[in-house]
Amino acid sequence: MTVSHWPAALHLFAYDATQSALNPGGAQATRIAHLWWIFFWVLLVIFALVLLFLLSALLRRRVVNEGLEPVIDPPKEEPGLTAVVSTAVVLTVLVLFALLVRDFFTGNKIYSLSDAGAVGIKLTGHQWWWEVQYQDPEPSRIVTTANEIHIPIGRVVKFELASTDVIHSFWVPNLHGKRDLVPGHPTTVLLKADRAGEYRGQCAEFCGFQHAHMRLLIVAEKPERFEAWLDAQRQDSPAPATESARLGHDVFVSSQCVMCHTIAGTGARATLGPDLSHIGSRITLATGSFPNTRGYLAGWIANPQSLKPGVLMPPNELAPDALNALVDYLESLK
């Protein structure tokens, strides 16, 4: 992920190609982008015509009868005007109908993927993070991770969407349209990436305080790279290799961290917060909010509220040495 150095105010004008419906990374998004451009050009022409007519009406010479009381004439029949208005109404209806048909056609095409041989991913929305679970008929091969979703290019991915609290919405503009995650109403969406790359997503339904920071990252990659990544995620977390990491491991398993998080291969098995088994291999922290660097990780553990007010994670008052060791340990979990 590219971390932008634009001043905050300029973000309004900075174009991010990794989160844009007009930079499609798959066939579905290509169709949506195509439809968008058709609407754009048709509406631009209509807008120009309307302005043209308005301008010509404004510039018409008016009869000024100074000093006289206005005279109200009986309405005149203007056959020319009636014809113009009728033609405009018919044209408007025809244009709207043509756009409706094109829209229907696009909708039909983007939902025509087949889920045969698809990668199955269960995506659960939480306030304010995404739980990601790669399905497998064999339970021991199921992979749980969070906020970063690797997918193979050229293969359909079937997302089963669910929410445990409020309504969220799954939206990765470079790949597909939006789909809501409604508590108690699981649904599915199929998508396929054709071009490798990192695509940013965003929760697209207001879901509370940190809605704006409920991001996600899709890493679309070659099938062999994807399989290698998935295999690595299936493994237990690596055992601590250094003295400091060993100390950090002990800090983790003996503190309140284990009340919420899982690290596979340790005693930590809670599922209230994101699975941390391979957190060292992730690109971002706090649901796509910050780059996964040592500083942000330490700051996040010590005082998450200062970075993401309202987050459910409590602060952790650790001695500096313990915090340092904990960061060493978490960074080693590749």
Q: Considering only 88-96, 206-214, 244-252, 270-278, which stretch makes contact with ligand CUA by CB under 6 A?
A: 206-214
CA atoms of 175 and 153, how far apart (whole Å)? 11
- Site mask, ligand CUA, residues 125-164, x = CB under 6 A? x--x------------------------------------
- How many chain residues touch ligand CUA (CB under 6 A)? 9
Sign (positive or negative) of CA dihedral 26, 29, 31, 37: negative
Cβ closest to ligand CUA, residue 181 vs residue 268: 181
Please report whether residue 168 would count as binding ligand CUA according to CB under 6 A: yes
Cβ closest to ligand CUA, residue 122 vs residue 211: 211
Instruction: Please list, in sequence order, all residues whose beta carbon lies within 8 angstroms of the beta carbon of residue 133, skipping any fewer than 6 positions away.
Output: 121, 122, 123, 124, 142, 143, 144, 145
- Least separation in angstroms between residue 311's CB and ligand CUA is 13
Q: Considering only 141-149, 202-210, 275-283, 318-326, which stretch makes contact with ligand CUA by CB under 6 A?
A: 202-210
Please report whether residue 205 would count as binding ligand CUA according to CB under 6 A: yes
Q: Considering only 134-142, 198-206, 270-278, 306-314, which stretch makes contact with ligand CUA by CB under 6 A?
A: 198-206
Please report whether residue 211 would count as binding ligand CUA according to CB under 6 A: yes
- Least separation in angstroms between residue 218's CB and ligand CUA is 16
CB 217 within 8 A of CB 283: yes
**Amino acid letter, residue 74:** P
Cβ closest to ligand CUA, residue 168 vs residue 261: 168
DSSP assigned state of 128: T
Name the 3-class secondary structure at 148: strand
Q: How far apart are the first and last CA of the chain?
A: 18
Please report whether residue 203 would count as binding ligand CUA according to CB under 6 A: yes
CA atoms of 142 and 134, how far apart (whole Å)? 6
Phi then psi for 333, rounded to 5 degrees?
Answer: -85, 75
Strand order of the β-sheet with 215-221 is 148-152, 215-221, 197-202
Q: Which residues bind ligand CUA (CB under 6 A)?
A: 125, 128, 168, 203, 205-207, 211, 214
